[in-house]
């Protein structure tokens, strides 16, 4: 527990590290655990509370580690269990908690469980995965699609059946309707809790259970034609099943056996439905500690969208806890994603940081975000991401946000590696290197904004009330017992003037001017106003 009796994670800032792309220490062009350990001081200097490590487990790397073949070991590509122990020790020495990714909905097809399961219909693991009989015409049992394109079913001739894979063919889905599967998964989580991790980020947390009757999904109600078939269905039966909550309670019961542990779930859903699921999965004190969705990871940069996300969560889960972020390893970096709404890259980077740090709940930032990093433009020959390779150029994939961290502008590969990295470092990204980020830089702004959040009781503990300040100005008040801050963000490139209904003073980092009760916000401007009375 922390001050005021609150758990550490409730107002934490968590920094996501993508191990492949953070620091290569063994000279093979791929980042590794010793490299992360060496660079942890950079993360600690930001003032964040924890790191989230994307998967480093044993894997054939068909989906960059999200296809796990051994839940309880480190892939040699990244190091060893001893390297992980050293990383944990250094992080804790620096005051950083360590959260690790847990990919529980599916395994690699090279996992021993699946290799046994696919061999026949009568072995000990025969029903550990989702198997279904072939229709009379040879077609799959239903219309479920894979997120990565094509049907979510693959035929296995040894069993004469199809198996379910919500993602790659090489990522078969576990059958969570089988209690033995649940027990085995809980044991793998316990392994890492015993090793000292402070919590889990749960990948695709709403995909654990499928409809046991294998009913087909209905079509989605859309006015457009999407560039992927997955978006053409309303996924009523292939994910987000009611049985999921009972398993989340088992996970929570496990983590509650340890002090100060936390779970954050990734909800694989878009729009208002994702906010509802976040609420369902965090309600009460016996489910997830918190959840996040792709709602704020979208191209939508508007007052209505941001307000709808937060107010939707408030209404849907009044006792739940949200986690908000603007970028991660699965989406285009927000500085590029919102470029049409930006005066400049640096201006939108600062505004996005100030906005995130003002949100109620737990905050996530993605490596390189603190440098104002932009999306890398890659050519087809440089791609590694399976959906991009399959559907190029209609789908650009996720490689552009996964290129290596840039440490030294003029060093080979920007200081990430001494050899050609697994993804290239382009000049546009190298120019944002850590060693270029001096006084007045985006990096220094992140440090200032994080420190301001930590020093503000309103931003850490305060409730949120929204105000109407025009269609392009996001405005809300965060109020705690001893502080009231009103936060305003001009989500437009044109200057905006806001008339206030009371007196206030500007505190903390800002891009605004206040003349008596007239607030002037330049394009991408922002401000925190401290006051006692009513401003709106």
CA 48, 53, 58: angle at the middle one, nearest 5?
165
What would the pLDDT profile of 117-170 be if each residue is shown by its tens digit? Answer: 999 999 999 999 999 999 999 999 999 999 999 999 999 999 999 999 999 999
pLDDT attached to residue 287: 96
Tens of pLDDT, residues 469-524 = 999 999 999 999 999 999 999 999 999 999 999 999 999 999 999 999 999 999 99
Q: Which two tokens stand for residue 240?
A: 């987000």
Query: Where do we find the tokens 């978006």?
Result: 231
- What phi-psi label fits residue 246: left (phi over 0), alpha (psi between -120 and 50 degrees) or beta? alpha
Query: Do residues 343 and 330 lie in contact, with contact meaning Cβ atoms separated by under 8 Å?
Result: no
Residue tagged active-site, from 67, 203, 385, 399 = 203
Task: Determine which one of 49, 154, 173, 266 is catalytic.
Answer: 266
The superfamily (CATH) of domain 107-175 is: Oligo-1,6-glucosidase; Domain 2 (3.90.400.10)
Please compute, for residue 154, the number of CA atoms within 13 A of its CA located in the half-sphere on the CB side.
17
- What backbone phi and psi angles, to 5 degrees, belong to 321? -135, 125
pLDDT in tens, 194-225: 999 999 999 999 999 999 999 999 999 887 87
Q: Please state which architecture CATH assigns to domain 461-530.
A: Sandwich (2.60)
pTM exceeds 0.95 for this model: yes
φ, ψ of residue 466 to 5 degrees: the values are -85, 155
Active site residue 266: yes
What are the boundaries of each domain within the chain? 3-106+179-452, 107-175, 461-530
* Residue 372: how many other CB atoms lie within 10 Å: 24
Mean pLDDT for 279-307 is 93
pLDDT at 506: 98
Backbone φ and ψ of 481, nearest 5°: -65, -30
Active-site residue 381, yes or no?
Answer: no
CA distance readout (Å), 348 to 47, 159, 393, 489, 514: 21, 54, 27, 11, 21
Distance from C-alpha of 93 to C-alpha of 523, rounded to nearest angstrom: 41
Q: Residue range 378-391: average pLDDT?
A: 95
**pLDDT value at position 271?**
76
Cβ partners under 8 Å of residue 379, min gap 6 = none
Q: What are phi and psi of 516, to 5 degrees?
A: 60, -115
Superfamily designation of domain 3-106+179-452: Glycosidases (3.20.20.80)
Quick one: pLDDT at residue 316?
79
Helix (H, G, I), strand (E, B) or coil at 263: strand
């Amino acid at each position: 527990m922390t001050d005021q009796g609150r758990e550490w994670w409730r107002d934490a800032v968590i920094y996501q590290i993508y191990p492949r792309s953070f620091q290569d220490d063994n000279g093979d062009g791929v980042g590794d655990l010793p490299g992360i350990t060496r660079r942890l001081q950079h993360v600690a200097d930001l003032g964040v509370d924890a790191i989230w490590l994307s998967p480093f487990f044993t894997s054939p790397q068909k989906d960059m580690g999200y296809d796990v073949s051994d839940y309880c070991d480190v892939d040699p590509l990244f190091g060893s269990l001893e390297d992980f122990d050293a990383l944990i020790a250094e992080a804790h020495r620096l005051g950083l908690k360590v959260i690790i990714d847990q990919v529980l909905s599916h395994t690699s097809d090279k996992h021993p469980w699946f290799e046994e399961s696919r061999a026949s219909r009568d072995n000990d693991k025969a029903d550990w995965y989702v198997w279904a009989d072939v229709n009379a015409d040879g077609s799959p049992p239903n219309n479920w699609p894979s997120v990565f394109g094509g049907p979510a079913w693959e035929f296995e001739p040894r069993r004469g059946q199809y198996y379910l894979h919500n993602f790659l063919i090489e990522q078969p889905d576990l059958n969570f309707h089988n209690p033995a599967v649940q027990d085995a998964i809980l044991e793998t989580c316990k392994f890492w809790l015993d090793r000292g991790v402070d919590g889990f980020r749960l990948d695709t947390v709403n995909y654990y259970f499928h409809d046991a009757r294998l009913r087909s999904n209905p079509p989605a109600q859309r006015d457009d034609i999407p560039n992927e078939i997955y978006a053409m269905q309303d996924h009523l039966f292939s994910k987000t099943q009611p049985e999921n909550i009972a398993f989340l309670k088992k996970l929570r019961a496990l983590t509650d056996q340890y002090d100060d542990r936390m779970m954050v779930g990734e909800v694989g859903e878009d729009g208002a439905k994702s906010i509802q699921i976040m609420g369902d999965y965090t309600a009460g004190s016996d489910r997830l500690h918190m959840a996040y969705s792709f709602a704020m990871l979208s191209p939508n940069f508007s007052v209505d969208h941001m307000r709808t996300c937060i107010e939707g969560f408030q209404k849907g889960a009044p006792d739940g806890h949200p986690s908000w972020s603007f970028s991660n390893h699965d989406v285009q970096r927000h500085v590029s994603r919102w470029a049409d709404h930006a005066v400049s890259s640096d201006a939108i980077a600062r505004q996005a940081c100030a906005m995130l740090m003002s949100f109620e709940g737990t905050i996530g930032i993605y490596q390189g975000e603190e440098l104002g990093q932009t999306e890398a433009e890659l050519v087809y020959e440089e791609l590694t991401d399976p959906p991009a390779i399959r559907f190029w150029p209609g789908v650009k994939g996720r490689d552009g946000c996964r290129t290596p961290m840039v440490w030294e502008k003029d060093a080979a590969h920007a200081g990430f590696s001494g050899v050609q990295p697994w993804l290239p470092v382009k000049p546009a990204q190298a120019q944002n290197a850590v060693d270029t980020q001096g006084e007045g830089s985006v990096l220094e702004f992140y440090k200032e904004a994080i420190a301001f959040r930590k020093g503000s009781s309103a931003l850490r503990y305060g409730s949120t009330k929204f105000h109407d300040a025009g269609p392009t100005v996001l405005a809300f008040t965060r109020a705690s017992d001893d502080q009231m801050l009103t936060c305003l963000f001009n989500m437009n490139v044109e200057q905006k003037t806001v008339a206030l209904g009371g007196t206030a003073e500007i505190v903390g980092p800002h891009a605004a001017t206040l003349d008596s009760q007239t607030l002037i916000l330049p394009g991408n401007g922002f401000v925190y106003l401290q006051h006692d009375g009513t401003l709106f």
